[in-house]
Each structure stands twice: as structure tokens, then as C-alpha cells.
Chain A
């Protein structure tokens, strides 16, 4: 295993590589097509380099544990806006999630619908490309249109274009209170409709999820409101009236319960330790009921108001074949190696876009050594 401790060492490691490299942060998210080669770990590149609470900015080396970032932010009552998911529960992995891998996978959570994805908070990167050249893009300010935005390109490239060495994020103030409106027994269709109504209200919903089979075996719809205490109480009440057509609802404001509940949604804990394949499907919310019907299972969790569907499918099932042509994309997050080598993990691109993606990979990584084939 290669474990550089500086960007210069990272650069040297890539320059002198004689074969393919498996780029890894904490090793908690083995997502993607199977790749081979020596492990190149960024865990040695660790530490917060700059944190300015008054400027809502944090800069850290890529291998810094997410927990270290979150603790530093919490000490100043701030947080990462996009609520990054921890994959350890569903993938059964051990290890320490790193901030660089969060950036590389564009890993976001329930608050993505309000605060944007990881890529929206990521304001700067340093990375080393496939030639071993260290490159910077973006910076540490939240408004920056100087040159092309490669920050977005690197976020979600899973290390196939370059290995991140440093990431900068815009952060947000923490909140005083959180309330969750709970509605029971809705169909998927009504659940999505209720969430759309909530998200289209002026009450600033920061989370909207629905499961047909909740912890007690019954459907549950959860809508989250955060902010100053008085404001949260007011908005939760208003929202309850606005959604009265969906039947009785309760408001949960116990901090421990609300935080555990949204962690359950964020980390898709419903499918922790289950044995089927796990698909992650991004669609426009109103398409979700049709997609769930086409998948033919009620073992789903809908986040992002219905825009994100997590579905557990029997081992080896090609969910895309069941969906046919649809507007959005499906990623196979958890499956046996045999399935992952047989099915595309990422949604295959149309030929015109695939040519662009290939062109970019050929130029950023001309020797084709970085996570080769991971995204297809």
C-alpha cells in the first residue's frame, strides 16, 4: 500500500507507479466497478489547515477523518451543509471515512434538497492528476468564477481524474432546534405528494423522506424543519395545517429522537445488514411512485422528497432492465462481486457524453492508472 504523507509524496507515488492504482480514503465506501492495482491511500494526508468560522470556510487535507471536521465545526456551532452519508452501515465496512472521499464521491445526505449536494459546498480542491502533476482549482471563497469549475468535475469523479489532496468547503451555522412532522400510513404516491407540498411551501423544509415499510412495519413519512426554536415551532404548526388533507400527523421535537431518525435516513440504516443488492436511483420526485412500482418491491426508502430512491433488490437483479428508459440515473451501491462485474455500477452514458467523459479521462490520466474502469 502506498500511503503518502504530503502532496509531494503523493505526486511522486503517482509519477513512479508502474501499474494501476486503487485510490482510497478510509476504505469505507468500496463503490464502483471492481478495480485492481496497488492501494494508494490518502489517509496519511490528514489535518485541518484552515478554519475561519466568521468566513464560513474550512480547508482540510483529503485524508482528514470526517469526524474530525465535524467535531471542529460543532465546537463553533457550525456544520457541513450537505449532511454527508456514512456508508459503513449498509456496506458493512470498518475504518474511518475521510473528507476527501466524501468530496470525490459527491456524498450528500437528506439536507441535499435544501442546502445542495457536497459539490455545491465544495469551493476548492487540490489534486494530483494521472501524470503526477499537482493542480489547484477554486479556492477558499464561496463566489469564484475564475476559470473553469473543475471543483465540480472532481466531485463525483471517484478519483478517476485525479487524487484529491486538499478540499475547501463552505460551511453553515448549526441550528438551535429541529422538529419532524410524522405522517403515518400514506401510500408511496401520497407520501411523495405530501413531501412535494411541504417542499413547495415557504416553511423551509430541510429533509423529506418516506418509507413504505418503517421500523414498525407501517409506512411513515418524515418532514424536517430546522432553525431557531420559535421559528421551528411556528413552521411545524403551519406545515401541519397545510398538510391536513393527508390525515393526522404528529410533531417530534426531542433532539435525540430527531437526530437518530435522520441518521437512520441519511445512512439508509433500513438496509444495514440485509442481504439483497442495494440500488440508488435519482429521479424527479413525481416519477418516484412509478419507479417504485416498476421495481416491484416495497423494500425502498425515498429521500429528497422522492427524488432519491434506495431500493433493495434480489441478488443479481438488473434494476435498470426493470425500469427501461427513464429520466435520471441508477447506481448499484451494494452487490456481490460477481454482480458488480456483470452489471454496470454507474448508469451507462449516451455515446455523445461517454465520448466526452472518455476524452477527459484520457487527458487527466493518460496512462489510465487511477481507479481504472471504476465508473465504466
Chain B
């Protein structure tokens, strides 16, 4: 993956930039020694690494503003970083960039149960937002699988989803407002505790902009009262296609499950061995979860099973208790870990129209054959967000490249059937060069215009999201201006 050549001018003035940063931040908040900057050389896309010029850990919005002002004046690119869990390389630095980490910004600023929101600093982890309101039986709905570690700032940057989006939506649907610092240090407030924007929906475009428009330091998030209960049913099928048809009918019949998870044979077998989940021996497995009172859950699961029976399932296991629910979820929740035990893998994130599920699964199997790389499929079937896991050997020369080529083919396939390259992980550097398969030049240009408005000098996370060839002139102009 190509990254822009670092600016020799910036590398040469490292000491000067660091000393200016030290004027506005405490000593321990500016990391610049070579052996220490390495801690920030990559995120969860570990195939690509590069230590930054320096990393800073501001502890307030004002400190973030001061840091950005300095970098703006010095013409130094800034890469914002939440918890570094991006699978897309969203927080990958360049050698001439400053990493701006929000880890110290982790306070809860306000909880309001009457108006159902919480205001937090953006470095707070996703799960600990729910944790802060758990005692009052509330929760924050978006639940990316990295929720134990991932920060709200990253969730906002990538518009993160999770397993329960079918009912509760993704980050953008649960984000009411942000405090954000622009690249020149200006602090702005977008939205608040009220609903919807008065003017243009700037909050809507900031969410999912991958840290390219501003650095979010605080967020107001919608919280919801927990349902009375939730229970899943596990359904096993001997055919992927039939499982896909069953998903479509469940949705069409008016039941709205909170989650419909799909696993194929490779994932079923691997997770079963890894987690002793006791999964049936079959080709495709669905876990469908519904919420409500006990009686409501029984009723909805009854309806789902009635539909499933028409598709001749090999297994139909209705959870009757919390422990049975945990057993059903155990394998699914450990799926990525289980696959990681047997092989290196690359996790894709394309979304497809649910109706294309059988066709896409068939094509992925053919591609797997063609490339000679195994693929496991585990994904959120209700919303069409697929996560094919391509297995490869990182120690075998050429295997990563082969895997990336196959991944690109699968993502292009997602776009061809009417879907998109990424449903919840973001583009980062990983899918940057595939953007032309989804967007025509004018579709991309208008997005660059948006960045021009928020960050005219193209200093915030500039080498991400768009193909480098597309942003080259803008980045070069910014450098020249410096």
C-alpha cells in the first residue's frame, strides 16, 4: 500500500515542532523519542507500519485546539487516533505526521435520563459508555465487536455499526452532537441534546469522515432503556442459499429481530472447536435474536421458527434461558479469535443487498477456489453487511498480495450487485484504491470539495479514504503553501 513520501522539510524541523508542542502540553503528553513513537506506528491493520514524527496526548479540547493550531501553522499533517482498533488503517501515520491521540479524554461529562442522552469525552471506550448508564438500565446501542477497546472518537470517525444495527441503526443514527476542533484550531459545536440540525446537517457529514474534517473531542450520544429481555434462536441449514432465503422471509414477515447473524461451515467448525459451542454439523447457521418481555420473545421466536421450518432446517434450537443464550452466542462472539488461532486472515466488510446473498456466497466460493485461499463467512445477514475472512499465511512470500487481490475482487463483486466497499470499518488506506469501483470521478470530486471547506490545507489525515492520485494536487498545493 503506497503512502505519500514524507516531506523532508518537516522531518528536518522535528525538534522545532516538538518544542512548540511542549509549550502547550505537559512533557509526558508529547511523545517524540524514536523508540517511543513506535507504539503509534500502526492500528489494527498491522500489515502496514510507520512511526510518526511525534504523538501527542492532549487532555482537553483547548489542548487539542492548541496542538492543531501549531500543526496548522507549521504545515504538519495530523492523524487523529482513538484507540487504534481500525481494521482499515484509519490511524496509520506517515513519518512526517503528528498522531493526535484522544486517550486522555475519557470522562463522562453529563448523563441525562429524562432526555435520554449522555455527553462524553471522545476517548472514552464504546463499552464504558454503556457501562456508565447501566445502573439505570440504559445502554448505548452501537456495539462494534471491538467495543471493549474502541473509542467513541473512532466510532464517530468511521460511523461504526455492530451486530444490532438492524433495529437500532449505526453511530450516525445515535449521535446527537459533537464538540469538534478544526485544523486551524477553531472549536465548533455541532448539534446538541436536541434532535436534528437547524441548518445544514454538518454533523451528518462529519460522522464517517474518517478524521479528515476535524478532531471530535466530545460527543452527545442517545441512550436507550434496555429491553426487558433478549433471547436468540439458532437455526442450522444444509445450504447457504436456503439460509439466505430464510433471512429474507423473516424480514418480510414483519418480525424485526435485533440481530440476524450468519456463519458458514468453515466458521461453524472452527468456532465450535475453539469455543466448544456445540454447534450442529451443517453448511449454514443463523442466530436470530429478538427482544421484549418473556411472552413477547416467545411469540416472536415462535413466528421465526414457523418460518424457518418451511426451509427444512437441520437444527432449530430456541434459547429458553440466559445460559442457553450465552451458549448460542459463544461461538459467534469468538469467531474472529477462533479463525485467528488457525490462520492469518484478512477481514472484509462489504455490504450487499440482502437479496444477492446466495449469489455472492456462491461467487465467493468460486473465487476461493480460483485463488487457492480458504474463506470463512460470518456476518450480519439482516443488513447485508458481510465479513468474509480470507485465510492466508503471512510468512509465505506473496500470500498477502494474493489475499489482497482476492479481497479486492470480492469487494468489487459487492459493488457490482448494488452494494458497497465498506459497511462499518471505513475506507482508511485499505480500500482507498478501490474507490473508483464505487464512485465516478465527479462523485469523488464533490467529497473532496467538502474536505476543502473544513480543511483547506489538507493536513488532517490527508492520505486516507481517496486514491492518492485523486488527492495528489490538493496535498501538493498544501505543501507548497507551507
Contacts and interface: CB of A to CB of B under 8 A. Distances in A.
| A-B complex is real | yes
Interface of A: 52-57, 76-77, 106, 108, 112-113, 116-117, 119-120, 129, 133-137, 139-153, 155-157, 161, 172-176, 193, 196, 199-202, 204, 228, 230-231, 234-235, 282-286, 304, 307-308, 327-331, 346-347, 349-350, 352-353, 356-357, 359-360, 363-364, 375-376
A193 B203 CA distance: 28
A357 B209 contact: no
B207 A234 contact: no
A155 B252 contact: no
Given A140-B353, A308-B195, A327-B194, 19 more contacts: A55-B384, A77-B254, A106-B197, A119-B196, A136-B440, A144-B351, A145-B159, A145-B208, A146-B431, A149-B205, A172-B256, A202-B225, A204-B227, A231-B292, A231-B295, A285-B115, A346-B199, A353-B188, A357-B202
B467 to A, nearest CB: 11
Contacts, number: 264
Q: What are the 6 closest A-B residue pairs judged by CB atoms, nearest first?
A: A152-B204, A329-B198, A54-B248, A359-B453, A143-B423, A173-B254
Contacts of B255: 173
A345 to B, nearest CB: 11
B223 to A, nearest CB: 9
10 contacts: A133-B442, A145-B170, A146-B431, A148-B209, A204-B227, A228-B296, A235-B293, A353-B188, A353-B199, A356-B454
A208 B189 CA distance: 28
B103 interface: no
B342 interface: no
Most chain A CB neighbours (cut-off 10 Å) among B112, B252, B293: B252
Contacts of B205: 148-150, 152-153
A200 B116 contact: yes
Contacts of A359: 452-453
B278 to A, nearest CB: 30
A201 B293 CA distance: 12
B295 A141 contact: no
Contacts of B117: 284
B284 to A, nearest CB: 17
A172 B251 CA distance: 9
B355 A52 contact: yes
B423 A141 contact: yes
Interface in B180-206: 182, 186, 188-190, 192-205
Interface stretch (B23-31, B65-73, B91-99, B413-421): B413-421
A201 to B, nearest CB: 6
B293 A157 contact: no
A196 B352 CA distance: 38
Contacts of B425: 145
Nearest to B117: A284
A161 B300 CA distance: 44
Interface in B201-250: 201-205, 207-209, 225-228, 248-249
Interface string B339-377: 000000000000111110000000000000000000000
Chain B contact residues (Cβ within 8 angstroms of A): what range?
35 or more
B238 to A, nearest CB: 21
Nearest to A156: B201
Contact of B198 (A142, A146, A200, A349): A349
A52 B356 CA distance: 11
Contacts of A201: 225
A279 B462 CA distance: 42
Contacts of A54: 248-249, 251-252, 354-355
Interface of B: 112-117, 137-138, 158-159, 161, 165, 169-170, 172-173, 182, 186, 188-190, 192-205, 207-209, 225-228, 248-249, 251-256, 292-293, 295-296, 299-300, 351-355, 380, 383-385, 418-427, 431, 435, 438-440, 442-444, 446-447, 449-454, 465-466
A356 B255 CA distance: 42
Given A120-B173, A152-B172, A307 B194 contact: yes
Contacts of A77: 254
Contacts of A228: 296, 299-300
A151 B450 CA distance: 13
Nearest to B250: A54
A182 B249 CA distance: 36
B254 A202 contact: no
B411 to A, nearest CB: 10
A23 to B, nearest CB: 15
A368 B470 CA distance: 26
Nearest to B453: A359
Contacts of B385: 141, 143
A212 to B, nearest CB: 20
A175 B253 CA distance: 10
A157 B296 contact: no
Nearest to A140: B418
Given A52-B355, A144-B351, A176-B254, A149 B202 contact: no
B201 A364 contact: no
Contact of B439 (A147, A329, A347, A360): A147
A51 B465 CA distance: 31
Nearest to B199: A349
B264 to A, nearest CB: 19
Contacts of A356: 188, 202, 453-454
Given A55-B248, A147-B435, A153-B205, A202 B198 contact: no
A284 B161 contact: no
A376 B438 CA distance: 34
Contact of B419 (A139, A308, A346): A139
Nearest to B351: A141
Nearest to A283: B194
B426 to A, nearest CB: 5
Contacts of A117: 195-196
B155 to A, nearest CB: 11
A329 B202 CA distance: 15
B43 to A, nearest CB: 16
A142 B208 CA distance: 14
A113 B222 CA distance: 11
A143 B383 contact: yes
Among B115, B192, B228, find the residue whose CB has the most chain A CB atoms closer than 10 A.
B115
Contact of A146 (B199, B225, B435): B435
Contacts of A328: 192, 194, 198
Given A106-B196, A152-B201, A327-B192, A231 B254 contact: no
